Amino acid sequence: MQQPDDASRDESPSAVEARAAAYLLPTYAWTRFHPRDGRGARLVDAHGKAYWDLLAGIAVNALGYRHPALVRALRKEAGDLLHVSNLFYQPAQAELAERLVTLSGLSRAFFCNSGTEANEAALKFSRLLAPGKPGVVALENSFHGRTFGALSMTGNEPYRTPFEPLVPGVTFVPANDVAALRAAVTERTGAIFLEPIQGEGGIVPLSDAFLRAARERADAVGAALVFDEIQCGLGRTGFLFAFQRSGVVPDVVTLAKPLGGGLPLGAVLTGPRLEGLVRPGHHGTTLGGNPVACRLGLTVLDELVEGALVARVADVGPWFGRKLAALARRSPAIAEVRGCGLIWGIELDREAAPVQAKLLEKGFVVGTARKKVIRLLPPYVVPKAALAAFVLALEEALKEPVA
């Protein structure tokens, strides 16, 4: 017998849409897609149609759906304490901190519930490193979240304008413009916030020269160098941490998305320059670093590192990159392909949303970024055959008349 609280599980798509329209604040422009089941990189909708998922819940489901290790860990946690608060010691949280610190070479971890919260915390911790220096340098087309601090560092006018005035003191420079970065970072700068690969900004990898210049300027003026690896971190580049790709070590790394295996979990990792600065009372959260989320976090890291999923991304990435480059050569509709590992942006000569809709019809779930970019963030378990089939489907979609 179905339990009353389960009643909406099998509801028809139109009934769910009607209830959402009536009762949810319309903060999202929902796609009429109703995923109800899935396994690995496969999703099945309410009508029983199967799709290859090349978006992974926006870079969250690195292990794919129903990964046996995550299911096992969650079942075990269900019989344990679900929450005790950060007033008391939590074994899973301390263990996850140790794992992240050891793997990153940084010094300490703070846990929260989301990427936005991680960036808010990183902004506060940066202020402790550079007291009296309220300036922040961030990038045009960056995305760091939607709360006031994170939004203030987000270089996207439509997101910002309705909520101004925002937190003052943020200067935006174009990605990979070393001269502009050097000029923008002054003695008043307390933090430089960068995504090593811009996600929402259209999958724009920052050059090693740009990252090195950021490190040099942060050191010269005493500012914190913060890398937001919320979308590009935790294996997606083929390295566990995106900063390991360039070798430029930041003072702070923010993480979220795949870390909790599908449950809300964000993290801030701090390096040696922040040692001793963050003290009791400076920051906190009730649910952040919850035992269940941290156990799943440990499971995710086990699969990424011991389970060799990061190595798989490093192997599949260049192969897929070559396939995309070959497609770009034969398809005039593709202006540029950017990315590495399993984070790719395909810049089109046309709006991406109608192409995304066509791909959904053909059985591929993909994202978009800015107006003209198809964004791919597949689970790390995605079969090569699915990626090869996507390339053919995209080629076909780009040949069809523009609606």
Ligand X SMILES: Cc1ncc(COP(=O)(O)O)c(C=O)c1O
Distances (CA, A) of 168 to 129, 148, 153, 180, 201: 18, 10, 10, 19, 22
Q: Of 92 and 121, which has the nearer Cβ to ligand X?
A: 121
**C-beta of 144 vs 312, nearer to ligand X:** 144
Tokens of residue 341, six digits: 């590992």
Residue 403's alpha-carbon distances to 31, 42, 346, 358, in angstroms, are: 17, 28, 19, 10
State yes or no: cis peptide before 165, omega within 30 of 0: yes
- Residues in contact with ligand X, counted by CB under 6 A, come to a total of 15
Element holding 136 (H helix, E strand): strand 135-139
* Part in contact with ligand X (CB under 6 A); list of ranges 67-75, 228-236, 267-275, 342-350: 228-236
Q: Taking a C-beta distance cutoff of 8 angstroms, is the pair 43, 37 a contact?
A: yes
CA distance 253 to 227: 5
Residue 45 or 117 having the CB closest to ligand X: 117
Q: Give the binding range for ligand X (CB under 6 A) out of 19-27, 74-82, 108-116, 157-165.
A: 108-116
Question: Nearer Cβ to ligand X, position 126 or 231?
Answer: 231
In angstroms, the CA 288 to CA 161 distance is: 30
Alpha-carbon distances, residue 44 vs 54, 62, 68, 286 (angstroms): 13, 18, 18, 35
Strands across the sheet with 35-39, in order? 35-39, 42-45, 50-53, 364-365
Q: Does 242 bind ligand X (CB under 6 A)?
A: no
Using the rule CB under 6 A, is 40 a contact of ligand X? no
Choice between 244 and 331, CB closer to ligand X? 244
Minimum CB separation of residue 331 from ligand X in Å reads 27
Binding mask 178-217 for ligand X (x = CB under 6 A): -----------------x---xx-----------------
Of positions 90, 104, 231, 290, contacts ligand X by CB under 6 A: 231
Minimum distance of ligand X from residue 403's CB (angstroms): 28
* Least separation in angstroms between CB 388 and ligand X: 27
Contact with ligand X (CB under 6 A): which of 203, 224, 230, 387? 230
Residues 10-39 that bind ligand X (CB under 6 A): none
Options 42, 67, 127, 144; binder of ligand X; rule CB under 6 A: 144
Kindly state the tokens that stand for 264.
């809300």
212 with 182: CB under 8 angstroms? Answer: no
The site string for ligand X over 344-383 (x = CB under 6 A, - otherwise) reads ----------------------------------------
Distances (CA, A) of 52 to 39, 204, 366, 378, 379: 10, 24, 9, 9, 10
Pseudo-torsion of CA 373, 374, 380, 385, nearest 10°?
-140
Binding of ligand X by 256 (CB under 6 A): yes
CB 135 within 8 Å of CB 171:
yes
Among 61, 90, 116, 141, indicate the residue that binds ligand X (CB under 6 A).
116
Q: Which of 45, 77, 120, 228 binds ligand X (CB under 6 A)?
A: 228
**Closest residue to ligand X, Cβ-based?**
115
Chain contacts with ligand X (rule: CB under 6 A): 58, 114-116, 119, 143-145, 195, 199-200, 228, 230-231, 256
